[in-house]
C-alpha cells in the first residue's frame, strides 16, 4: 500500500468567513462607518441588518468553534512522523444505535474513530475498521455537528474510502486480532452498551494482549478491556494504569448538554468507564478542567495506551506508534 499524501486542512473558507465576520463586527460597533464607504443614509438600516446576519453566521461558523478549540476541545496536536509501511491496525467500535429505552440515536463519537484512523493511515499503516455486529457503524449525531467537528472529522467528510469502511465495517467475530500490530478501541456513548458486555471482544483482546500486541482506547473505549484477561487468568485491568472518560464528564454532558436530545444520558448508559475500571482494580487517573470534556490525558502502561476523552485520540495513536517503533528497532 502506498503512503497517502499528507492532508492539509482547507483554510480558505475559514479565512474568508473570519474576515467577513470581523468586517461585520466593525460596522455593527461603528455604524457611522457606512457613511465613509459611501452607503446612502436611506440604506444604512438594510446594511446594518445584513452585517448583523453576517456576524452571527460567522461567529457560529468560525469564531465560536475556534474559541472552543482554545479552551481545549479538539485542540491541535502535532503527531510525530512515522513510516510503518507493511504494518496493520484495527479500529474497533460499538454497534449500539439507540439509548436504552428510547428512540434517541447514539453511536461512536466521530473523532474517536477519525483521529486514530488518519494518524495510522498517514504513517503508512493499513487500517481496517470493525464493530461488535459488523456492517454500518452508527455515529453519535451530536458529534457530527459542525460546532464539535475536529479537523479529522472535516477530513472524513471528503474521504470516500473511510466512509465506505464505516458503512461496511468488519464483524469482530470474523477477525484474528493477532494479525494486527495495533488495536484501537473507539468510544462514544454507544460503547457503554456493548464493548464491556462482549465476551468475544474480551477473548480477542486477551489473545492480542498475550501475543504482545499494542492496544489503545479512548473515552468509553477502555470498557472493551473489562472482560480481557492476563495469561494467569486475572483481569487485564487489575493494577493497570489507565484513564478514560470521567464520571464528572459524564455528568456534565449528560445533564448540562444532552437535554438538547431530550434525555439525561448519564441515567441511561449502563457502564461508566471510571467507575467500572476502578471496580476491576485499575489504577485510574485523569486530568480535571473547568469542564472535563475540555481536558485531556493519556496514560501508557506497558503495551496499553488509554486516552481520557474525545480530545485524546491523536496523542493516544501517537503513543501507540511510539511503542511500535520501539519494537521495530529492538
Give the confidence band of 78 by pLDDT, cuts at 50, 70, 90: very high
3-state SS, residue 257: helix
Helices (H) and strands (E) in the chain, counts: 12, 9
| Phi and psi at residue 156, to the nearest 5° | -55, -35
Q: What is the pTM of this model?
A: 0.87
Instruction: Count other Cβ atoms within 10 Å, centred on residue 2.
Output: 6
Give the confidence band of 99 by pLDDT, cuts at 50, 70, 90: confident
Residue among 297, 266, 284, 317 nearest 72 (CA): 297
Please check the confidence at residue 302 and state whether its pLDDT lies above 90. Answer: yes
Give the confidence band of 167 by pLDDT, cuts at 50, 70, 90: very high
Give the confidence band of 250 by pLDDT, cuts at 50, 70, 90: confident
Residue among 288, 296, 330 nearest 316 (CA): 296
Percent of the chain exceeding pLDDT 70 equals 93
Contact 97, 107 (CB under 8 A): yes
Please check the confidence at residue 95 and state whether its pLDDT lies above 70. Answer: yes
Q: Which residues, 6 or more positions from 203, have their beta carbon under 8 angstroms from its beta carbon? A: 227
Please check the confidence at residue 10 and state whether its pLDDT lies above 80. Answer: no
Beta bridge partners of 128: 90
8-state DSSP, 322: H
Instruction: Count other Cβ atoms within 10 Å, centred on residue 241.
Output: 14
Q: Which residues, 6 or more positions from 289, have their beta carbon under 8 angstroms from its beta carbon? A: 72, 295
What are the pLDDT digits (tens) for 14-70?
778 778 888 888 888 888 888 878 888 778 888 888 888 888 888 877 788 888 888
Contact 245, 266 (CB under 8 A): no
Contact 120, 88 (CB under 8 A): no
Residue among 276, 126, 102 nearest 187 (CA): 276
Question: What's the pLDDT score for residue 192?
Answer: 96
Cell of 97: 444505535
3-state helix/strand/coil string of 268-287: CCCCCHHHHHHHCCCEECCC
312 or 4, which is more confident? 312
Question: What's the pLDDT score for residue 2?
Answer: 41
Cell of 245: 472518560
Task: Tell me the residue length of the chain.
Answer: 330
Question: What's the pLDDT score for residue 211?
Answer: 98
Please check the confidence at residue 319 and state whether its pLDDT lies above 90. Answer: yes
Question: What's the pLDDT score for residue 261?
Answer: 53
Give the confidence band of 315 by pLDDT, cuts at 50, 70, 90: very high
- Given the C-alpha cell 454507544, which residue does it identify? 190
Percent of the chain exceeding pLDDT 90 equals 65
Question: What's the pLDDT score for residue 253?
Answer: 78
Domains of the chain: 12-71 (no CATH), 88-329 (3.40.50.880)
Question: What's the pLDDT score for residue 235?
Answer: 97
Mean pLDDT of the chain: 90
Question: What's the pLDDT score for residue 6?
Answer: 45
Question: What's the pLDDT score for residue 262?
Answer: 54
Q: What is the mean pLDDT of residues 173-195?
A: 97
Q: CA 250, CA 254: separation in Å to the nearest integer?
A: 6
Q: CA 14, CA 30: separation in Å to the nearest integer?
A: 24
Amino acid at each position: 500500500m502506498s503512503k497517502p499524501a499528507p492532508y492539509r486542512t482547507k483554510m480558505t473558507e475559514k479565512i474568508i468567513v473570519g474576515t467577513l465576520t470581523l468586517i461585520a463586527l466593525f460596522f455593527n460597533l461603528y455604524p457611522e462607518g457606512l457613511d465613509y464607504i459611501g452607503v446612502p443614509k436611506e440604506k444604512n438600516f438594510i446594511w446594518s441588518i445584513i452585517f448583523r446576519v453576517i456576524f452571527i453566521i460567522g461567529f457560529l461558523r468560525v469564531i465560536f468553534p475556534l474559541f472552543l478549540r482554545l479552551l481545549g476541545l479538539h485542540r491541535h496536536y502535532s503527531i510525530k512522523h512515522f513510516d510503518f509501511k507493511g504494518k496493520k491496525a484495527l479500529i474497533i467500535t460499538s454497534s449500539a444505535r439507540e439509548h436504552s429505552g428510547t428512540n434517541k440515536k447514539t453511536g461512536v463519537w466521530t473523532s474517536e474513530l477519525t483521529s486514530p484512523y488518519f494518524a495510522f493511515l498517514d504513517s503508512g499503516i493499513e487500517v481496517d475498521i470493525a464493530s461488535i455486529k459488523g456492517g454500518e457503524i452508527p455515529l453519535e449525531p451530536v458529534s457530527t455537528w459542525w460546532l464539535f467537528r475536529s479537523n479529522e472529522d472535516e477530513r472524513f467528510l471528503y474521504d470516500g474510502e473511510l466512509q465506505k469502511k464505516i458503512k461496511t465495517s468488519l464483524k469482530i467475530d470474523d477477525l484474528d486480532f493477532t494479525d494486527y500490530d495495533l488495536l484501537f478501541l473507539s468510544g462514544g456513548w454507544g460503547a457503554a452498551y456493548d464493548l464491556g458486555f462482549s465476551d468475544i471482544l474480551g477473548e480477542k483482546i486477551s489473545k492480542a494482549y498475550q501475543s504482545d500486541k499494542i492496544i489503545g482506547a479512548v473515552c468509553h473505549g477502555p470498557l472493551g478491556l473489562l472482560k480481557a484477561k492476563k495469561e494467569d487468568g486475572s483481569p487485564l485491568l487489575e493494577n493497570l494504569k489507565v484513564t478514560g472518560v470521567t464520571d464528572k464528564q459524564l455528568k456534565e454532558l449528560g445533564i448540562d448538554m444532552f437535554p438538547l436530545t431530550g434525555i439525561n444520558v448519564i441515567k441511561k448508559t449502563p457502564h461508566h468507564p471510571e467507575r467500572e475500571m476502578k471496580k476491576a482494580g485499575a489504577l485510574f487517573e485523569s486530568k480535571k478542567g473547568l469542564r472535563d470534556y475540555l481536558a485531556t490525558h493519556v496514560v501508557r502502561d506497558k503495551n496499553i495506551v488509554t486516552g481520557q476523552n474525545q480530545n485524546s485520540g491523536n496523542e493516544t495513536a501517537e503513543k501507540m506508534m511510539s511503542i511500535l517503533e520501539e519494537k521495530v528497532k529492538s
